[in-house]
Structure 1
């Protein structure tokens, strides 16, 4: 099972690499096919692969409170 996730959010051009084992999130400079996919994302596309739940929240406090506005 994958334990590393690449994240991109609307309004932010860059991607982030979240390593769940290390508990870290770092900026990622995409190259190759990943850069191509990021260009599509920046143009409004959405790519989801091997992720079954993802929600953007306004803060960690909102997430920790259990609030979900679906």
Structure 2
């Protein structure tokens, strides 16, 4: 099972890498080539790209997520 996720948030610049095993989230430099560059370019045009993710929502805070709320 994959334990690393590349994420971005609508309205925010940049990419992030979440390592679920290590429990870390760090900035990812914008790719200059390859498949990730292609999807990053699509994202810049307003597209949403998902693969292997079955739930992704934004929340205002950790407390909101822990209480079962999300911005939907």
Same fold (TM over 0.5): yes
- Structure 2 unmatched ranges of 5 or more: none
Would you identify which runs of 4 or more consecutive aligned residues in structure 1 move more than 3 Å? none
State the Cα distance separating 1:56 from its structure 2 match.
0.7
When the two structures are superposed, what TM-score results if normalisation uses the length of structure 1?
0.89
- Structure 1 unmatched ranges of 5 or more: none
| Higher RCO (CA < 8 A, seq sep 6+) | 1
Task: Tell me how large the CA RMSD over aligned residues is.
Answer: 1.3
- Map residues 22-37 of structure 1 onto 2, 5 A cutoff: 22-31=22-31, 32=33, 33-37=35-39
When the two structures are superposed, what TM-score results if normalisation uses the length of structure 2?
0.87
1:58 corresponds to which residue? 60
Total equivalences in the alignment: 70
State the Cα distance separating 1:40 from its structure 2 match.
1.1
